[in-house]
Amino acid sequence: MNVFPGFILWLILLILCWPLALAALILYPFVWLVLLPFRLVGITVDAVFSLLKAILFLPARLLRGPGRAADAR
């Protein structure tokens, strides 16, 4: 579903300026490969922050008791 609007925009670009549309079509995989390490770093940073949050909130979760811990799930 998310591909269709991009395809329509590319078709409009193809009609208006076909050399730019073909350049975008050829360069897109290279741009994706260049940006891939940044996406992996973002996933890693998000995982580290989630781990830190879990470690910091662990005492509060333990002090809540077993009855409340079952409700939180």
Of 24, 4, 3, residue with least CA distance to 13: 24
Task: Say if CB 24 and CB 13 are below 8 A apart.
Answer: yes
Is the pLDDT confidence value at 69 over 70? no
**What's the confidence (pLDDT) of residue 2?**
81
What's the whole-model pTM score? 0.59
Measured between alpha carbons, how far is 31 from 11 in angstroms, rounded to an integer? Answer: 20
**What's the confidence (pLDDT) of residue 39?**
96
Question: Both tokens of residue 25?
Answer: 């079509």
Per residue in 9-46, pLDDT (tens digit) is 999 999 999 999 999 999 999 999 999 999 999 999 99
**What's the confidence (pLDDT) of residue 68?**
64
Amino acid at 35: L
